[in-house]
Amino acid sequence: MGIQLTILGCHSATPRTNAHPTAQYLKINERHILIDCGEGTQVLLRQQKVPFAKIKHIFISHLHGDHFFGLVGLISTFGLLDRRTELHVYGPKGIKEIITLQLKLSKSWTSFPLLFHELNSKESQVIFEDKKISVTTIPLDHRVYTNGFLFQEKEGARKLNMENVAMESEIEICDYHHLKNGKDFTREDGSIIDNEDLTLPPRKAHSYAFCSDTAYKPDIVPIIKGASLLYHESTFLEDRKNLTERTKHSTAKEAGSIAKQANVNKLILGHYSSRYSDLNQFKIEAQTEFEHVELAESGKTFTI
């Protein structure tokens, strides 16, 4: 239970010896998810000893190469490993055509069900939901159609207050499931014990907001309000703010402002431009707006 986020790659544009493009591995409430898939992602997954078979959902923010060029290679490797479980890929309209054309021309059709869920809405929408988590899009402002993603845990079962439960002789073990699901208990004489007298609130549900390439866009704040963890791109420092309008990227200060407005618990910065050698300057700048800032690094894990 909870959230564990591993940064695989966190730099912008082109891969370099020690700077890998965007990819993240997220474990949330027993679900294993890949977010973006820049070049070299499968090698980075192996370095982190991530079991490939557990990844069943991949979310691609947009169709710029540094965010998805590793996807066809990863899918091909899944096939070579004789994968049988289905794989769901969520991404902008066109991703199915791009990937299937490469598989077709290389005669590398998968041995497992490969299911694409193409996105084109400019409004926030729930695109995946099961009994454990939900995933909602965060419409962003970039040079091509782009989404971030909000991953949310579902609230778990209530906890038994065993001291109070033990005082009621009629409550049996077989009643525990109903109590955990919020039901009151009815005694044999028809009197009712409120559920709140027999249970404790469940653990707080956590959430992770991934905001990929985007210009400063404060209207995303209501979507990510109160997130446990926020990743927000910070390609530039304020010294090159003049580049943000043309490139549709953000500064570290702007990322800090979004975190402050959304009242998140922690901000992670990433997607650094290669123009900068001292990445700590990103943290310093963001902290002029928001205190709880961390820097993304390849191999770094954040746990909630």
pLDDT tens, residue by residue, 174-193: 888 887 888 988 888 988 98
Q: What is the pLDDT of residue 171?
A: 86
Q: What is the pLDDT of residue 294?
A: 98
List strand residue ranges (DSSP E) for the chain, in order: 3-9, 23-28, 31-37, 57-59, 87-92, 114-119, 126-129, 133-139, 147-153, 159-160, 185-186, 192-193, 199-200, 207-211, 229-233, 267-270, 293-295, 301-303
- pTM value is 0.90
Q: What is the pLDDT of residue 1?
A: 64
Q: Are 62 and 147 in contact (CB under 8 A)?
A: yes
Q: Where are the domains of the chain?
A: 3-156+203-303, 159-200
What does the pLDDT look like over 79-118, one tens digit per residue? Answer: 999 999 999 999 999 999 999 999 999 999 998 999 999 9
Q: Which CATH superfamily is domain 3-156+203-303 in?
A: Ribonuclease Z/Hydroxyacylglutathione hydrolase-like (3.60.15.10)
Q: What is the pLDDT of residue 177?
A: 87
The CA distance from 139 to 149, in Å, is: 8
Where the chain has pLDDT below 70, the residues are 1
The CA distance from 52 to 64, in Å, is: 24
Give the pairing type, strands 192-193 and 199-200. unpaired
Percent of the chain with pLDDT over 90: 80
For the question of residue 189 being annotated catalytic, the response is no
Positive or negative torsion for Cα 19, 213, 246, 65:
positive
Task: Catalytic residue, from 36, 66, 194, 219: name it.
Answer: 66
